[in-house]
Structure 1
Amino acid sequence: MLVGVISDTHDDYKAIYKFGEIARRVGVSAVIHAGDWTSPFSMLKMRRALGREIPVYTVFGNNDGDRYNFAKRAADSQVDILGEAGVVELDGVKIGVYHGTSEILVEAMAKSGLFDVVIYGHTHKIDIRRVDGVLVVNPGEACGCASERKTAALLNVEKMDVEIIDL
């Protein structure tokens, strides 16, 4: 199973549409967004980009302030909001998702023994590593705000490997 991983879109609709195009082309089965959509309307754009058949899971980021409208748009867009942090199980692989505002919490999730994979964002920096056998993934930033490189990732849950893609 191939999972699309994206974070820190910050309303960059061109990056969202590009990600959707790539995700459909390579055949992702699900998408995980690690927060900082910024506007709730970005979820509608993601849904348009992906179509209705690909499930989308997300957590809140520190720039996702209008939670009432996020809840409404998520319902309209069939996006599953996991809250501040959450878990998604795909093909028997437990994936912990958190925006990443606290580095110590990212490390604690990786060392907890609860997850096979931990996905986070927030830093706008690509991070792919293993902590006590747990795959830790930060896909970088879809918006290119900090690095001027727009990235996302493809997670193969059978092989437990990650490929960074440029948007």
Structure 2
Amino acid sequence: MKIGILSDSHLKSDYTKEVIDFLKEINSEYLVHAGDLCIEKNLQLLEESKLKYVSVFGNNDRNLLQLSSKYNIKQEPYYFQIKDTKFKLMHLPYYLTPDSDVVIFGHTHMFEQDYKNKTLFVNPGEVCAREKPFIECVQLEIKENEYIISRYFKKINEKNFKKEEYIYER
């Protein structure tokens, strides 16, 4: 199972589209957005991807609250399950407790990954390239006995994404 993870799109719908298209190109089956979509266009892009997706409201998403019935955007922390894997999704890193198999968060604009006490923690970094000159996303591949985290990043003026990979035994 391959899950595309992104966060902190802010007003950069062109970067968001580029990341979603890339995650589809590398065969992601699901999309998870960890908040700060900021504009409806970014929600539309998730919807138009035709992949199953879920997102949460970030601290800059108050203007999107009335759209929760139109798009799959939830209050944080949001718990869900894909196959036999339990997830907790949030924007603000306030609920970093090991009460799921995978905890996904955003807000810091920094890529993070850690595996503690059989819980995987992932922050995909930022789509918007605000804190640093990189567009970032993650693909999480979940296999029976391992997690494979592939971090993809590129400078805004570059054509191709670079990749870093991290593997943990489940």
- Can you give the 5+ residue segments of structure 2 that lack an aligned partner in the other structure? 155-170
Provide the residue aligned with 2:136 in structure 1. 151
> Is 2:76 aligned against 1:84?
yes
Structure with larger RCO (C-alpha < 8 A, sep 6+): 1
- Specify whether residues 59 and 68 from structure 1 end up closer, same or farther in structure 2 by C-alpha distance, changes over 3 A only: closer
Residues of 2 paired with 1:160 and 1:56: CA distance?
Answer: 20
* Partner SS state of residue 11, structure 1: coil
Query: CA shift at 1:33, angstroms?
Result: 0.4
Residues of 2 paired with 1:70 and 1:126: CA distance?
Answer: 28
Residues of 1 paired with 2:88 and 2:22: CA distance?
Answer: 24
Bigger fraction of residues in strand? 2
Bigger fraction of residues in helix? 1
- Can you give the 5+ residue segments of structure 1 that lack an aligned partner in the other structure? none
> Is 2:53 aligned against 1:66?
no
Q: Scaled by the length of structure 1, what TM-score is found?
A: 0.84
> Is 2:122 aligned against 1:137?
yes
Moved over 6 A (4+): none
Q: Scaled by the length of structure 2, what TM-score is found?
A: 0.82
Residues of 2 paired with 1:83 and 1:30: CA distance?
Answer: 19
Query: CA shift at 1:151, angstroms?
Result: 0.2
- Residues 87-108 of structure 1: CA distance to partner in whole angstroms, max 9, x if unpaired? 1211210011010253xx22xx
Instruction: Give the fraction of aligned pairs with identical amino acids, expressed as a percent.
Output: 23
Residues of 2 paired with 1:42 and 1:21: CA distance?
Answer: 13
- Specify whether residues 139 and 68 from structure 1 end up closer, same or farther in structure 2 by C-alpha distance, changes over 3 A only: closer
Count of aligned residue pairs for this structure pair: 152
Query: CA shift at 1:81, angstroms?
Result: 1.9
2:88 to 89, 96, 100: 96
Residues of 2 paired with 1:100 and 1:165: CA distance?
Answer: 22
